[in-house]
Amino acid sequence: MSEDRQKVLVINCGSSSLKYEVWEMPERTSLGKGQVERIGISGGYLKQTCERGTVEREADIPDHTEAARLMGEALTDREQGIISDVSEITGVGHRVVHGGEEYSESVVIDDAVIAAIEENIELAPLHNPANLAGIRAAQKLLPDVGHVAVFDTAFHQTLPPAAYLYGLPRELYEDLKIRRYGFHGTSHRYVAREAVAFMKRSPENTNVISCHLGNGASITAIRHSRSIDTSMGFTPLEGLVMGTRSGDIDPSIVFYLLERGYSQEELKVMLNKKSGLLGLSGISSDLRDVEEAADQGNRRAQDALDVYAHRVRNYIGAYTANIVKVDILVFTGGIGQHGVRMGERICSRLENLGVFIDPDRNQEVGATTGVISTDYSPISVVVMPTNEELQIAVDTCELLTA
């Protein structure tokens, strides 16, 4: 691939969805995006938007191959298409959830990469099969360009053993690869890099704590651009209280509930889909709904907010101890960017660590990029919108150009 202007297609596949976006590089300009929903179930549809207009289609979409074909048609739609011909695409970047211990960075996809993604299906049974289906469908649509895998877990492969090993018999790690893998790596890598640049600092002497707070939530300690600890673990269930996930709990609670008649499947659903803000409040997994209920005097809603902030503070405090000196604290994700009041709740008790929020700046910055700490705060607190799709496009462009 030449170093001239390139058009990179970024694909993120779920079990019943295919999301895509076209980026013009190296300008980092989004030319348009779309999504195909309800793959394999009735009522399939595609919606794509760009400057030229909106494309909408309803169709039976039995598999990801058909979804990719529809994507190709929409991309080149004569009136509202993003590009004139698929030959304009110079590379394809794929979000892949789990790369196991094999990959610590993004890679050009070949047979060995495909095999590794397949081997890690047991570690990400809900995600890796869909990611593979998307890769194969896109390779059929665009067989003559390079395809790149960008792994959610890759950024955290720099964790030291002290951070990734559990206090379990060693053979569980050696034989079954049970360890902390961490997720949201592409987001943490992106916002940490952007925050360091925004603050006009050098990555080589800057330490960052990155808080990706959304329906899924995680925190990462980043020393000199390398992840050294992260809150999600063997699965995305560990760590913070999230929208519907419990986060950290005493493992014996599972045994206790099993003994009282709960099935394994019921507990899996409870911990992943019925806990977190939703379970604590009994109202919603959406922070806005919970805050509204708390304002009306709902005690459970207030408890949910307090628990959420308490858990985030705990992790920030722990990572501050391990990273020794924190230069930047970053908030990103839906709650991290838009949850102005939650940001204040989290930071209100961190003054002893060197975090001092300016309430006016916090209100003014909102969901845009900006500093919300005071001028005298030893730790700069930055709100930074994440853009995993752009990071995937950057990686794809760099690898295929090289």
Tokens at 315, concatenated: 């992790």
**Cα dihedral sign, 115-218-273-390:** negative
CA-CA distance, 362 to 360, in Å (whole number)?
5
**Cα dihedral sign, 308-310-313-318:** negative
CA-CA distance, 254 to 264, in Å (whole number)?
9
Longest dimension (CA), the chain: 64
Catalytic (active site) residue 250: no
CA-CA distance, 13 to 35, in Å (whole number)?
9
Give the Å distances, CA to CA, from 165 to 162, 181, 209, 319, 320: 6, 10, 21, 16, 20
Could you tell me which residues come within 8 angstroms of residue 323 by beta carbon, excluding any fewer than 6 positions away?
A: 207, 209, 221, 223, 228, 229
Peptide bond into 169 cis (omega under 30): no
CA-CA distance, 144 to 138, in Å (whole number)?
11
Task: Give the active site residue among 4, 77, 85, 152.
Answer: 152
CA-CA distance, 128 to 392, in Å (whole number)?
17
Host H or E run for residue 210: strand 207-213
**Using alpha carbons only, what angle is made at residue 355 by residues 350 and 357, rounded to the nearest 5 degrees?**
105
Q: How far apart are the first and last CA of the chain?
A: 8
Could you give the residue numbers annotated as active site?
Answer: 152
